[in-house]
Amino acid sequence: MTGLTRFQGHGVLVTGAARGIGAAVARRLAEEGARVLATDRDLPEAEQTAAALREQGLAVEAFACDVADRGSVEAAVAHTVGTFGSLDVLVNSAAHCTPDVPLFEDQLDDAWARDLDVTLTGVHRCCRAALPHLAASGRGAVVSIGSVNAQMDFGNHAYSAAKAGLGSLTRTLAGHAAARGVRVNLVEPGTVRTSAWEGRDDDLDALRVLYPLGRVGEPEDIAAAVAFLASRDAAWVTGTTLRVDGGLTAVHSGFHAARRPFREV
């Protein structure tokens, strides 16, 4: 528990909240007093996550939401407002990443379209449905989860393009929503230890040396950044991309390792 109460009385909707970063965000905001609707396409797992948090005394409910379906998104927004009385914070964590095929020209249209539809257009659907309610709350905030893939080549062409698009959408929506009292920001994580890396501890350990801070991220690292941007502590912050990546994109560790012998001569 953080001891903070920055979201006391807030109604919050988190997409992709069954596991990983989304689940950590749901926990963090609920710990700070929010009433959270943890949505996911995988409802049984979202229900397990919500039930575990309720056992800790946190106000978290699960709800089925497929961000690729407009009706599903609108139902989740309506349920948040109907259940909690307001929608004050929207956190867009749902994403889809299709592994690259060996040759770019062999990538299928359907795979490319699926990554963009969930990862980028899904955020558009959620923001479109939520914005009137966020404006009505008087303290509305949107925080989306991007990726350092938007900044450098880490593979996954379609996913990376979608995450890069989130940066532009964040800025343009921030400009539109500012006059309505709604802030819109983006968090860009580096490698984070989630279920996607389950059984791959050796891979994570190999990546650790690329991070100046000496480790990969944990979901709680990202949740802390989301909590800041969604709170009134960031009342004068909008249209911003906050990289939470252990210094990965600020320091070229491989370059420094390669030139070290020359400095020692």
Question: pLDDT tens across 165-211, in order?
Answer: 999 999 999 999 999 999 999 999 999 998 888 878 888 888 998 99
The pLDDT assigned to 43 comes to 98
Q: Which amino acid, residue 133?
A: H
Q: Listing from the earlier edge strand, what are the strands of the sheet with 35-40?
A: 60-64, 35-40, 11-14, 89-92, 141-145, 183-189, 241-244
Catalytic site positions: 159
Query: What is the residue whose two structure tokens read 């949107």?
Result: 142
Task: Locate all alpha helices (DSSP H) within the chain, ordered by sequence.
Answer: 20-31, 43-54, 70-84, 109-116, 122-137, 157-177, 201-208, 219-230, 253-264
- Please give the model's pTM, rounded to 2 decimal places: 0.95
The pLDDT assigned to 265 comes to 47
Percentage of residues of the chain with pLDDT beyond 90: 88
Percentage of residues of the chain with pLDDT beyond 70: 98
Q: Which amino acid, residue 13?
A: L
231 vs 234: CA distance, rounded Å: 6
Q: Are 138 and 180 a contacting pair, CB within 8 Å? A: no
Homologous superfamily of the 11-264 domain (CATH): NAD(P)-binding Rossmann-like Domain (3.40.50.720)
